Chains A and B, each alone.
Chain A
Amino acid sequence: MTTVDAVQRGSTWSGVQRWARRDEVRRAACLVALMVTIAVITGPDGSQNSPYSGLRGSLLSRHAIPFYVLAVILAATSLAGGRWTTAATAPVRALRQRTTGIVIPKPVKLVALALLAVLVLYYPTTLAPFWQTVLVDQMGIYVLLAVGLNVVVGFAGLLDLGYIAFFAIGAYTTAYFTDKLPVHPPFTLNPFFVFPIAVGAALLAGVILGGPTLRLRGDYLAIVTLGFGEIVRITAVNSDAITNGPQGAFGIPHFSAFGYHWTLDSLPYYYLLLVVVALVVFFFRRLDDSRVGRAWAAIREDEVAAAATGIPTLKFKLMAFAIGASTSGFAGVIYASKVGFINPDNFPLLLSILVLTMVIFGGMGSIYGVILGAAVLGWLPNYLRDYVPAQDRFIYFGALLIVMMIFRPQGLLPSRRRSRELRLSELGIGGADGTGPIPGSTQ
């Protein structure tokens, strides 16, 4: 039945309503709304005094034309009953069908791995200094952070929104032991040797925060950790005598160990991060495939059953939390030494959410997915820096979170176990995070 039929059948209000309720009409409306939203997001900024100027510039100017055209095309496609889209996506589906189930032979895998190794080891040396800096500051550090948060969110299923606080603790510990804060340490160290102390401090903070809060339900935990992150930041701002307040610490020296001195040059930091990430991945993979990892999976899936099976759930959750926190603290040391100056503004709530976005985007629970997610989301804004204002980045990240949750909750490179859980949860079996389904869910 075409849309014209529907309208003719009941030219009254009820007919219109019936028409508007049809799937393809709804889809068309969604697509139009989506295009308008994108036009606004990509449009010019508004200003304080004429708040509509942004909207006007986005929707009533040349800028909007391609979006409107696209909207009309998409809506028409949708109203045509999806026949065109089916035809357009047929090759993709055919390809997917043909590629699923193919087992890649081992030699091919090895060659691919070797190519990847060359790429990772050699390619950065050919980059311009700007991109080398991006590689370390915007990608490498975040890969490390995301791999750590993945233990908390992906392995144990706990939503930690104060993750960046541990990063801050690591960085401030470095500033303290290099004597760059108003309070003086008993002895000074090169940042390289602050690692164990900073990891210990972050771990301790994780245990102190986690001990009482991890017995809370998932969403309460999220908000309490968020509060913790803010408390750490506000404390850093307000404690002038200890943290030097909003000015923070500067002049934190570069790493220097075993006769090697790191400098302003980003590349040595890159290789350091590469080694660290490789080690962390090696260890975390073993962790995932061990008694501990299986206990986390059990807790994530059904906390009551896990406890009845003899798993001390609180202890294991605390473990995940502490491991995540120490990874974050470790990253904080590298950051402090690489950049040289830190202040509370470096550790806003935004960053916790950014790292979370990377984990979700890549595929929570999947170590390689998370690395990919962090690398892509660290690289992309820099690649697009001439087209997208820096402050707009977070609009896209917010949208990305929603889109991922709607269309691909398992992420880019999902972990097999995680995507199985999500699929089962959608069939009404299990909760995938041990907190039960949402009322009004339909199967």
Chain B
Amino acid sequence: MSAAVLEVSDLTLRFGGLTSLDKVSLRHERGEVLAVIGPNGAGKTSLFNCLTGVYTPQEGTVTFHPDGGTDTAVLGRKPFQVNKLGIARTFQNIRLFNALTAVENVKIGIESHQKTGPIGAMLRLPRTRREERASDDEAFRLLEFVGLKARANQVAASLPYGDQRRLEIARALGTKPQLLCLDEPAAGTNPAEKRQLETLIRDISETGVSVLLIEHDMKLVMSVAANVVVLNFGQVIAAGTPQQIQRDPKVVEAYLGGGESDDAATTPPAKKVPPRKTSLKKPED
């Protein structure tokens, strides 16, 4: 058995009287792609926000096992501290630094772990120059990795939607995570972009980064995930390989009985596509 990279146990999150997550436990093996699925309102995004420091759940523990480091509790840390631990994330409604170029976006991710302070930056000390060079090289490497090298100097907001998704992933990878959390990366992408994404997730997984995937697109989940956890009404109702999940009657019932009117259990309803770029309000997550 391989070691776990993340262990969640008995996580409970309440908003007033509403229980959003109810004793959720899961185990993410190092290096694998774990998918969390479930109908709308099942608590997927709440779980995600607990793992990344946005919400503080009332009960439960989340333990991160860094490679070659000591086990660390994730809860109670601020989002930037969670990132420093080695857990990076993307957003369901893409949140890039829109007015900056693609390469600048990635550099910001890389540089968040560098040490240059304002004095160093003003004097361009040797370390600053070294770090700057490293950040440039790494940014281009990552852009090449996600297939955006040709667009390095384009402004983020001007990129096509699928490219923005991949740029956000590149930015997250820039922070050198051991665990990458993707929040519905396929939402709003077209079939061609989806196929690219599938390859990209596999490539990321091959570099040794564990991927936690929240997704609605079952085809994507079935093709890339090694294991799947199913949430419904804030509880884990099933966990196992994609094949096991597909046959699990509870899962079938959750999707069909959840008030959704889709015809097949294997194709859970696609969530309402989030607005592509010009939402009136800033996306809430």
Contacts and interface: CB of A to CB of B under 8 A. Distances in A.
Do A and B touch directly, given a CB cutoff of 8 Å in the complex? Answer: yes
Interface of A: 283-284, 286-287, 290-295, 297-298, 301-302, 304-313, 319, 323, 417-418, 420-421, 424, 427-432, 436-437, 441, 443
Given A291-B111, A427-B278, A429-B277, A305 B135 contact: no
A287 B123 CA distance: 9
A428 B97 contact: no
B121 A420 contact: no
B196 interface: no
14 contacts: A291-B107, A291-B116, A291-B132, A292-B118, A292-B121, A297-B104, A297-B108, A308-B91, A310-B84, A310-B88, A319-B118, A323-B118, A428-B280, A432-B99
A305 B97 contact: yes
Nearest to B84: A310
B131 to A, nearest CB: 7
Nearest to B168: A305
Interface in B67-112: 78-80, 83-84, 88-89, 91, 95-100, 104, 107-109, 111-112
B100 A297 contact: yes
B78 A307 contact: yes
B95 A441 contact: no
A437 B104 contact: no
- Interface size range of chain B in the complex: 35 or more
Among A295, A304, A427, find the residue whose CB has the most chain B CB atoms closer than 10 A: A304
B117 interface: yes
B80 A311 contact: yes
B281 interface: yes
Given A290-B132, A310-B112, A305 B95 contact: yes
Given A307-B80, A311-B108, A420-B155, A437 B280 contact: yes
Given A286-B122, A292-B118, A310-B109, A436 B99 contact: no
Contacts of B12: none
B84 A420 contact: no
A218 B111 CA distance: 25
Contacts of A305: 91, 95-97
Contacts of A292: 116-118, 121
Contacts of B121: 286-287, 290-293
B118 A298 contact: no
7 tightest Cβ-Cβ pairs between the two chains A and B: A310-B112, A310-B83, A290-B121, A305-B95, A283-B122, A421-B99, A291-B111
Contacts of A436: 281-282
B130 to A, nearest CB: 12
Contacts of B99: 297, 301, 417-418, 420-421, 424, 430, 432
Contacts of B96: 302, 305
B26 interface: no
Given A293-B121, A310-B83, A430 B98 contact: yes
B97 A301 contact: yes
B109 to A, nearest CB: 5
A309 B171 contact: yes
Contacts of A286: 121-124
B175 interface: yes
Given A308-B91, A443-B278, 6 more contacts: A291-B116, A293-B121, A305-B96, A308-B80, A309-B175, A428-B280
A105 B174 CA distance: 37
A273 to B, nearest CB: 19
A293 B91 CA distance: 23
Contacts of A311: 80, 108, 112
B98 A441 contact: no
A308 B89 contact: yes
Give chain A's interface secondary structure class. helix
A310 B281 contact: no
Given A291-B131, A292-B117, A417-B99, A437 B80 contact: no
Given A294-B104, A437-B281, A309 B116 contact: no
A431 B175 contact: no
A307 B121 CA distance: 21
Contact of A287 (B95, B122, B285): B122
A268 B100 CA distance: 42
A310 B175 contact: yes
A235 to B, nearest CB: 29
Contacts of A301: 97-100
B40 interface: no
Contacts of B155: 420
Count chain A CB atoms within 10 A of each CB in B80, B123, B285 and give the residue with the most.
B80
Contacts of B83: 307-310
A436 B279 CA distance: 12
Contact of A290 (B95, B113, B116): B116
Given A305-B96, A430-B157, A310 B278 contact: no
B275 to A, nearest CB: 10
A294 B98 contact: no
Contact of A302 (B88, B89, B97, B280): B97
Given A420-B155, A421-B99, A294 B111 contact: yes
Contacts of A295: 108, 111-112
Nearest to A439: B281
For A310, A437, A443, which residue has the most chain B Cβ atoms within 10 angstroms? A310
A298 B104 CA distance: 10
Given A286-B124, A307-B80, A431 B282 contact: yes
Most chain A beta carbons < 10 A, residue from B100, B111, B118:
B118
Nearest to B176: A310
Interface in B247-284: 277-282
B61 interface: no
A287 B278 CA distance: 32
Contact of A294 (B91, B107, B122, B285): B107
A430 B99 CA distance: 8
Contacts of B132: 290-291
Given A290-B116, A309-B172, A310-B80, A437 B282 contact: yes
